[in-house]
Structure 1
Amino acid sequence: MKTISIAIADDEALFRKGMSLILNDYEHLNVTLEAENGVDLLEKLLQCETIPDVLLLDLKMPEMNGVEVAKIIQKKYPSLKMIVISTHFSRAFIINMIELSAVAYLPKNSQPDEVVETIEAVYEKGFHYNTEVLGIIRENIISKKKPKALFSTDLTNREKEVLQLICEQYTAPEIAEKLFISARTVDGHRNNLLSKLDCKNVAGLVVFVLQNELLDIPLLPKNRH
């Protein structure tokens, strides 16, 4: 696996430094940026020659909290994949951050192995929602009872197959193997889906599918091991 560059934004120095030590112990993970709040994070991102692949983001920080900085990152750094790690593991916070393009959400007492697995999954697939988070997304959509969105372009059978496997949290190489096509072709179908369904990222595809009941998505994500 290619080396994954990681930024950490958290006002707790002990957590920030401890997480850096844990992650840097893996050959394919490299913490390249540490910030103590949202203002510090944005200043350091401006100085980066290369934007990190993944951001571990706390929500409760002084000066500029995680929610405020996420709004800016969503617009200014759309390629930076935000993983929220917070003590605030409630339905309202989870839904709010997913609407701000967070591609994963973990409680702060998560095991290190789970954090590493989430980083890897987000890097490989673009998002990673565990059973609890996926259930909260589904419940929120049902409770809002939004009318089904209308889109002008029908999906091809192949695009539906790719979309189903994306929602089941398979990687592009895994989808390619299952459908006997190349990974490049999978990327092409994924880009077409993003365009047709007007979604910013693959996490948005999952939310769109749930909201519009396009496909049957299992609540339990695929076991990657």
Structure 2
Amino acid sequence: MLKDATAEQLIQALEDILQKGYHFTDQTSLALVHGIQHPTRKVLTSLPDQLKMTERQKQILELICAGHTAASIAKQLFISRRTVEGHWRKLFEKTGTHNVVGLVSFATQKDLLKRPS
């Protein structure tokens, strides 16, 4: 959220977070798309060892990038929400990101998402 957000925008953001687990403003979405289309950093062709992920972390990353909430992921994978949140924290640590937008951007830039067959 921007510092000058209106009360209505803040309420909408909170409702989005409660319903979907995330909230993107138009500015955030545009910045994300621009960052993907015009990366300022060199994209690695392979991941360093510290970025290697377990199969479970890869599953959770896919579901996060598909827009699922922690509760939804937990239900689909038959694990607790706290376990999912632990995996999220580990993914944030491994990728050096701090939020879902950064994680999705990282996954897209590093081509970590499965392609539909």
Report the TM-score when normalising by structure 1.
Answer: 0.40
In structure 2, the residue matched to 1:129 is: 24
Structure 1 residues 115 and 200, CA gap change in structure 2 (3 angstroms): closer
Structure with higher RCO (Cα < 8 A, 6+ apart)? 2
Instruction: Look at both structures and tell me which one has the larger radius of gyration over its CA atoms.
Output: 1
Q: Which runs of 5+ in 1 are unaligned?
A: 1-54, 59-84, 86-107, 218-225
Quick one: distance in 1 between partners of 2:86 and 2:41? 30
Quick one: distance in 2 between partners of 1:167 and 1:139? 17
1:142 maps onto 2:31 in alignment: no
Instruction: Answer yes or no: is the 8 Å Cα contact 2:32–2:101 preserved in 1.
Output: no
Instruction: Answer yes or no: is the 8 Å Cα contact 1:194–1:200 preserved in 2.
Output: yes
- Tell me which of 96, 103, 107 is aligned to 1:209: 107
In structure 1, the residue matched to 2:68 is: 170
In structure 2, the residue matched to 1:185 is: 83
Shift of 1:130: 5.7
Query: Which letter maps to 1:186?
Result: V
In structure 1, the residue matched to 2:59 is: 161
1:195 maps onto 2:93 in alignment: yes
Relative to its length, the structure with more strand (as a share) is 1
User: CA-atom RMSD, angstroms?
Assistant: 3.1
Shift of 1:214: 1.5
Aligned to 1:57, the other structure's residue is in SS state: coil
Aligned to 1:118, the other structure's residue is in SS state: helix
Quick one: distance in 2 between partners of 1:162 and 1:143? 26
Query: Which letter maps to 2:69?
Result: T
Identity of aligned residues (%): 34
Relative to its length, the structure with more helix (as a share) is 2
Quick one: distance in 2 between partners of 1:185 and 1:205? 18
- Tell me which of 14, 27, 39 is aligned to 1:119: 14
Show structure 1 runs of 4+ deviating over 6 A: none
Structure 1 residues 130 and 175, CA gap change in structure 2 (3 angstroms): farther
Q: Which runs of 5+ in 2 are unaligned?
A: none
